Amino acid sequence: MAKVKTKFVCQECGYETVKWLGRCPSCSEWNTFVEEKEVRETDAKKQRGISKGKVEKIQNITSMKKERISTGSREMDRVLGGGIIKSSLVLVGGDPGIGKSTLLLQVADNAAKIDLKVLYVSGEESGEQIKIRADRLGIGKGELYVLAETNIDIIKEFVEKENPDLLILDSIQTIYSPEIVSAPGSVSQVREVTSMVMRMTKARDMASFIVGHVTKSGAIAGPRVLEHMVDTVLYFEGERHFSYRILRSVKNRFGSTNEIGIFEMREKGLMEVENPSEVFLKGRPLEAYGTVVTAAMEGTRPVLIEIQALVTYSPAGFAKRITTGIDNNRAAMLLAVLEKKAGLAMQSSDTFINVTGGLQLKEPAADLAILCALASSFKEIPVDYKTILIGEVGLTGEIRGVNSVEKRLIEAQKMGFKKAVIAEANESILKEINNIEIMTVNNIRQVMDLLF
């Protein structure tokens, strides 16, 4: 006779308790506890590992470099670290309608074209709906098989029968295990199904992609342990009303987590963007004040980004500080430096800062560009549109050097920029960069005198 156990599980973080609580003591979210009944067999067998372990000296262990499989997209290969590795489990998260299914269907088609057997399992759409999307994208040839199923036990049977090289589950929140008496998408279901997929992936030497929904805060729905179980976590970001999408890696056991891939959503699916700097600078005003360009490093790739600022008098007497794409605290710090070290009285002005293209700037190399955009708008004096600004700003008004300046300046040179303002600490690269005039500065006062 099976025992029936009732518990309350937080749907945000997976915290479990024997009684209902209004606020989760783990993640501090309100009204997230849901009652779940979990059936466990009293004579259940212990879970078997993938293989019998043994203790060995590290120098006696033979390591094999695993071959990577190309996804057919250089942008996605870049984010994955060079391609797909067999026995790897990849979690792809993103907002609804952002293009996760389209991206993975294109990956499945590219894998099928190189004679890999692909099983695409959909718990949200029927086979006919997937076929309609495939026809619109112009794909569907090769060893690409589709299964519309939500029961993980049935999916496991088909995996054993078909023995695919690549398995795609869309999405993990719709797949359920009949052994767990709770609704699909609950913490218990997501945790159990992911565990079963992970065991299948490692034991059968195949690669697996699973799609995950995201919460209102932008995190992947389900317990945090979900991200710990997989090998790679990818976020597919972008605004639904804009055509550009960014694929970002936040965890990767087989590569860097600093790379991004940039795509454009078109009628025929997602197309990779080979020159993101040109995309982000498209439509930029040339002789307007309050706009400057900087070079940000996204992994090993330099990307030129336009930063816009608007400073206007606040009649209410209470100044607003609104930012998009940069940290609000960082912007407040730069405003304080402008007031104290450059003598610009901005305490009674509303300030708005925007990073065009929907990117999030986190590195301090954009400080100098943000500061100069604010000063340009305040003074109503435009900065030369062929000038790029790179540098970190300290609280004493000093300009500090940044890394990978050579790559940033070479990218600026390719895009037609003629001048660059950088920190004196990066003066050593002056001999290595040609065809672009480099001006070095040491503090805010020098920047103000040079540009305004």
Q: Is 69 exposed, middle or buried (0-12, 13-18, 19+ CB in 10 A)?
A: buried
pLDDT at 53: 62
Q: 33 exposed, middle or buried (CB, 10 Å; 0-12, 13-18, 19+)?
A: buried
Say how far apart CA 421 and CA 444 lie, in whole Å.
12
Q: Could you tell me if 216 and 320 lie in one domain?
A: no
- Look at residues 274, 298, 322 and tell me which one is the last residue of a structural domain: 274
Structural domain containing residue 8: 3-40
**C-alpha of 323 from chain center:** 20
In a domain, 56, yes or no: no
pLDDT of residue 48: 45
Look at the chain and count its residues.
Answer: 452
49, part of any domain: no
CB–CB of 118/168 below 8 Å?
Answer: yes
Tell me which residue has tokens 């990779």: 272
| 138 lies in the same domain as 125 | yes
Intra-chain end-to-end CA distance of the chain, in Å: 82
- Could you tell me if 113 and 153 lie in one domain? yes
The single-letter DSSP state of residue 151 is: B
Read off φ and ψ for residue 296, nearest 5 degrees: -105, 145
Helix, strand, coil % (nearest 5) of the chain? 30, 30, 40
Is 377 contained in some domain?
yes
> What pLDDT does residue 165 have?
93
Looking at the fold, whether 203 and 224 belong to one and the same domain comes out as yes
**CATH code: domain of residue 236:** 3.40.50.300
Please give the C-alpha separations between residue 240 and each of 104, 148, 445, in angstroms, as whole numbers: 18, 26, 42
Q: Is residue 47 part of a domain?
A: no
Residues 196 and 253 in one domain: yes
Q: Are residues 188 and 285 in the same domain?
A: no
In a domain, 109, yes or no: yes
Do 270 and 315 share a structural domain?
Answer: no
Per-residue pLDDT of the chain (452 residues; tens, 9 = 90+): 455 677 888 877 778 888 899 999 988 888 888 877 665 544 344 444 445 567 888 888 776 667 888 888 888 998 998 899 989 999 998 888 888 999 999 999 999 998 899 999 999 899 899 999 999 898 877 889 999 999 999 999 999 999 999 999 998 989 999 888 778 887 778 888 999 999 999 998 899 999 987 765 556 655 566 788 899 999 988 776 678 888 989 899 988 887 888 898 888 889 988 888 888 888 888 889 999 999 999 877 899 999 999 999 888 778 889 999 999 999 999 999 999 999 898 888 999 999 988 788 888 999 999 999 999 999 999 999 999 999 999 999 999 999 989 989 999 998 999 999 999 998 877 666 778 899 999 999 999 999 98
Q: Residue 363 falls within a domain, yes or no?
A: yes
Same-domain status, 119 and 247: yes
User: What are the start-end ranges of the H helices in 138-224?
Assistant: 152-162, 187-204
| Residue 150 CB neighbour total at 10 angstroms | 15
Which of 243, 274, 305 terminates a domain? The answer is 274
Domain boundary among 223, 243, 274: 274
pTM assigned to the model: 0.75
Q: What's the confidence (pLDDT) of residue 401? A: 92
* pLDDT computed for residue 47 by the predictor: 46
Residues 202 and 238 in one domain: yes
CA atoms of 449 and 443, how far apart (whole Å): 10
Q: Based on the structure, what is the number of domains in the chain?
A: 3
Quick one: 246 and 295 in the same domain? no
Query: How many angstroms separate the Cα of 358 from the Cα of each of 75, 240, 264, 361?
Result: 18, 11, 13, 10
User: In CATH, what number is assigned to the domain containing residue 432?
Assistant: 3.30.230.10
268 and 283 inside one domain: no
Residues 139 and 222 in one domain: yes
| Rounded Cα gap, residues 287 and 295, in angstroms | 20
Residue 50 lies in a domain: no
Any domain includes 353: yes
